[in-house]
Structures are given as structure tokens and as C-alpha cells.
């Protein structure tokens, strides 16, 4: 599963990469670690406006939900969902057909299990450019957007690192980004996209174990850290 992501790209880089402009450009902040468990905002592009980068709260809420975000997530964690969950869980009703989005990131995090210890790794493109993860969203009565990241079976690259879990975010190439946001894309095509192994070129390196602790200064958390007996990079 994926509970933390990274977005260190500048506003200009994001706009250039995805051909869309920020709705509220002054609100964009380069963030090394976006912690989904802490009611965090993410940059996204929705089906409603493919030329605009919006902000959404990571962790989908039902459209009519009026209580606290944290209360709902404590009971119904919606940071991640797979295609089976979307189709079977009532709280996701209608999102796949009408409310798909791209979640814009520069990386995500995985864990390598070695002799009973978990070592965090940072995964990013070889180019360090931003990329898109498939997502779904709801728009609440007050206009706020909340979203979930879609996960699927890990590809061969991620399996080398993420050996404690079998899932990873669904990363979309340019062609699949367009299809994901297209209202006319049929359900079977969406399922195929979610099951398709990304051909984008990724790299990964271990980072400080303190990464997962509360109250950590994240300014240097993406820096590589050497540990004995585990790979220094993938």
C-alpha cells in the first residue's frame, strides 16, 4: 500500500509536464514527504477540467459526508484502493465512471524487509521529473475535493524492493493519462490500464529509517543512506 508520496517539483515544472495550469498557484508547495495519514493536500488533474491543476485532500470521503476527515479515515481508510474495491465498495459508487483523476507526484516510498527489519526506499523516475498516479475523487458539498490513489500488483522492479507487500500505485504514461481522464473510456479499458505494468524508468535508494516517525524534519529525508547488507540502489 502507499501512505506517503513526494512532490518536490516546482509549479513551472508541473505545468510544463502536464500541460495544465494551477488553479491556485500560490498554494503550491514543494513537499518532500506528503503523509496521507495527516490530512494532506495533493496536486491533481480531474476529468472535470483537464487543463487545470487542483488541490485535493488525500483520503476520499463520501460526497455527502459532513464529519471530520480524520474520523472517517480512522474507520474507513481510503488513501488507497484497488479496482476490485472500487467496483464492490459502495462508498466508491460512480467514481470510476465519472470522477477519475491524476495524482501528480515526483516519487513514492516502499519498504525492503531484511532479517526482520524494514528499510524505507524512495522510488522516483530516472529523470526526477513529476509523473502521474491514477486516482479517483469526490467533490464535497463545500467544493473540496477528496481522492484515493489506485493500487495494483507491483511490477518486477518494485517487487525487488517492496518485498513485504505485493501492491504499488498505478503509474500512468502519457497515453494512459489521456485515456484515464477521458469520459468515453470504457470500463474494460480502465481495468487494463490499472493492470498494465508501467514502462517508465524508475530508480530507488534507501533513506533514513526516521522517515516513518512522527515529527521528523523532512528537509533531507530523500537523501540516500547506506546500510549494511541491503542494496544501496535499484
Q: Domain ranges in the chain?
A: 4-220
The better pLDDT of the pair 199, 154 is held by 154
CA distance linking residue 81 with residue 150, whole number of Å: 5
pLDDT digits (tens, 9 = 90+) for 126-159: 999 999 999 999 999 888 999 999 999 988 888 8
pLDDT digits (tens, 9 = 90+) for 68-84: 889 889 888 999 999 99
Q: What local confidence, expressed as pLDDT, does residue 218 receive?
A: 57
CA distance linking residue 15 with residue 146, whole number of Å: 21
The better pLDDT of the pair 213, 97 is held by 97
CA distance linking residue 125 with residue 120, whole number of Å: 17
How many whole angstroms from its chain centre is CA 165? 16
Cβ atoms within 10 Å, residue 65? 17
Three-class DSSP category at 99: coil
In the predicted structure, residue 216 carries a pLDDT above the cut 60: no
Q: Is the dihedral of CA 134, 179, 22, 68 positive or negative?
A: negative
Q: What local confidence, expressed as pLDDT, does residue 116 receive?
A: 83
How many whole angstroms from its chain centre is CA 42? 9
Q: What local confidence, expressed as pLDDT, does residue 11 receive?
A: 97
Minimum mean pLDDT range among 56-70, 77-91, 165-179, 219-233: 219-233
- Phi/psi at 142 (nearest 5 deg)? -85, 5
Confidence class for position 174, pLDDT limits 50, 70, 90: very high
Q: In whole numbers, what is the pLDDT of the chain averaged over residues?
A: 91
Q: Per the structure block, which three cell numbers stand in for 83?
A: 479496482
Predicted TM-score of the model (pTM): 0.94
DSSP-derived pairing of the beta strands 145-153 and 80-81: parallel
CATH number of 4-220: 3.30.465.10, 3.40.50.800, 3.90.420.10, 3.90.1680.10?
A: 3.90.1680.10
Reported in sequence order, the residue ranges of 49-99 that DSSP labels E, i.e. its strands, are 52-58, 80-81
The average pLDDT across 33-53 equals: 95
Q: How many residues does the chain have?
A: 234
Q: Helical H runs in 91-150? A: 95-98
Amino acid at each position: 500500500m502507499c501512505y506517503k508520496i513526494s512532490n518536490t517539483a516546482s509549479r513551472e515544472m508541473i505545468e510544463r509536464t502536464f500541460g495544465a495550469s494551477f488553479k491556485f498557484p500560490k498554494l503550491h508547495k514543494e513537499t518532500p514527504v506528503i503523509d496521507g495519514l495527516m490530512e494532506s493536500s495533493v496536486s491533481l488533474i480531474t476529468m472535470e477540467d483537464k487543463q487545470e491543476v487542483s488541490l485535493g485532500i488525500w483520503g476520499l470521503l463520501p460526497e455527502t459526508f459532513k464529519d471530520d476527515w480524520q474520523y472517517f479515515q480512522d474507520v474507513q481508510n481510503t488513501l488507497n484502493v484497488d479496482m476490485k474495491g472500487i467496483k464492490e465498495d459502495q462508498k466508491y459508487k460512480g467514481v470510476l465512471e465519472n470522477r477519475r483523476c491524476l495524482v501528480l507526484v515526483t516519487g513514492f516510498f516502499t519498504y525492503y524487509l531484511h532479517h526482520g527489519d524494514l528499510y524505507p526506499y524512495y522510488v522516483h523516475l530516472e529523470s526526477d521529473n513529476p509523473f502521474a498516479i491514477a486516482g479517483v475523487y469526490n467533490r464535497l458539498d463545500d467544493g473540496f475535493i477528496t481522492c484515493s490513489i489506485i493500487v495494483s500488483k507491483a511490477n518486477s522492479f518494485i517487487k525487488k524492493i517492496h518485498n513485504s507487500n505485493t501492491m504499488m500505485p498505478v503509474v500512468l504514461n502519457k497515453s494512459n493519462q489521456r485515456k484515464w481522464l477521458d469520459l468515453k473510456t470504457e470500463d474494460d479499458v480502465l481495468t487494463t490500464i490499472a493492470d498494465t505494468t508501467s514502462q517508465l524508468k524508475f530508480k530507488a535508494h534507501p533513506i533514513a529509517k526516521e522517515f516513518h516517525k512522527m515529527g521528523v524534519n523532512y528537509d533531507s529525508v530523500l537523501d540516500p543512506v547506506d546500510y549494511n547488507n541491503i542494496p544501496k540502489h535499484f
